[in-house]
């Protein structure tokens, strides 16, 4: 089972703003597992995939 995290949590792990996460979703660069109902429904992401992306991004920065 996936560990679901919110846009805000994903942004914190990736050290970007929630708006950047929303742009990446809109551009197809980041794929959420779910979008909650409603026009402003939150995106939910696989926490393990976001952790891996954060680790890869951190290793590139070093």
Q: How far is CA 37 from the centre of its chain?
A: 18
Per-residue confidence (pLDDT) for residue 45, from 0 to 100 = 98
- In this predicted structure, what is the pLDDT of residue 57? 87
CB within 8 Å of 47: residues ≥ 6 apart: 2, 3, 4, 5, 9
DSSP code, position 2: -
Separation CA 22–CA 55 (nearest Å): 20
- The pLDDT profile of the chain, 62 residues, written as one tens digit per residue, is 789 999 999 999 999 999 999 999 999 999 999 999 998 889 999 999 999 999 998 887 76
């Amino acid at each position: 089972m996936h560990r679901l995290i919110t846009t805000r949590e994903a942004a914190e792990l990736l050290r970007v703003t929630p708006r950047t996460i929303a742009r990446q979703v809109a551009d197809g660069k980041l794929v959420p597992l779910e979008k909650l109902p409603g026009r402003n429904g939150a995106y939910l992401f696989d926490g393990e995939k976001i952790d891996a992306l954060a680790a890869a991004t951190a290793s590139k920065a070093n």
